[in-house]
């Protein structure tokens, strides 16, 4: 999919959702819409603002649904959950359809704690593992390797352009977490088995946890 198909311009967003410029930036100031979703890009008319299409349309729709009954501050607390304070069990993650029972079983064997509750880092790692295995592009052992790397990375705060990258070369797999807006260049013999944008995965997970 081309990049322009994944983005929506500010002008088109305002027209499609029937919100005003003032509302949009009021929601931004209240942290209802993440700062990193405001993407400045050069066009033939100059600098314009774009947004990730699917995420911003879902967020605006949710805000419009809630604003009749909640204040902006109450919506902010709901849309920006304090992930460090979350308490949820693996069984609840399965019940809510965030991970499968098979992934839960694998993940529990990899955890280095007997705590029944999952931290947000645990939840995100398990969620990413689910996506990796569902993709069919990696093996179970490679998925376990990815979880070990994620658990070492400290995922409670994820910056934009942070990616989990799984590589293969001559039958050997390695993976790492990289945070850079610049493309990473690999030698020709290296194949990218899977690449996950962790900031996007985190936002997607937060939306599903609401």
Residue range 3-79 forms a domain whose CATH class is: mainly alpha
- pTM, rounded to two decimals: 0.61
Q: Read off the tokens for 39.
A: 């993407």
Where are the chain's structural domains? 3-79, 83-209
Q: Read off the tokens for 76.
A: 């902010």
Task: Enumerate residue ranges in the chain where pLDDT < 50.
Answer: 1-3
Q: What is the DSSP letter of 183?
A: P
Q: What is the pLDDT of residue 31?
A: 81
The H-or-E segment that residue 151 falls in is helix 140-153
- The tens digit of pLDDT for each residue in 86-126 reads 678 999 999 989 999 999 999 988 876 667 888 888 888 99
Pair 8, 57: CB distance under 8 Å: yes
Q: What is the pLDDT of residue 1?
A: 37
């Amino acid at each position: 999919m081309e990049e322009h198909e994944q983005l929506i311009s500010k002008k088109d967003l305002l027209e499609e959702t029937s919100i005003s410029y003032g509302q949009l930036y009021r929601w931004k100031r209240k942290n209802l819409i993440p700062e990193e979703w405001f993407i400045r890009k050069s066009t033939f008319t100059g600098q314009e603002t774009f947004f990730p299409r699917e995420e911003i349309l879902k967020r605006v729709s949710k805000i419009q649904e809630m604003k009749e009954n909640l204040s902006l501050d109450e919506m902010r607390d709901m849309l920006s959950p304090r992930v460090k304070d979350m308490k949820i069990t693996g069984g609840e993650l399965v019940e809510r359809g965030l991970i499968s029972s098979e992934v839960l079983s694998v993940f529990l064997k990899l955890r280095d704690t007997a705590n029944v509750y999952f931290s947000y880092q645990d939840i995100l790692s398990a969620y990413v593992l689910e996506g990796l295995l569902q993709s069919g592009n990696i093996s179970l052992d490679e998925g376990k390797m990815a979880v070990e790397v994620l658990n070492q990375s400290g995922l409670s705060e994820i910056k934009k352009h942070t990616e989990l990258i799984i590589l293969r070369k001559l039958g050997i797999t390695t993976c790492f977490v990289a945070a850079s807006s610049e493309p990473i260049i690999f030698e020709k013999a290296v194949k990218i088995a899977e690449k996950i944008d962790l900031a996007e995965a985190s936002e997607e997970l937060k939306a599903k946890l609401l």
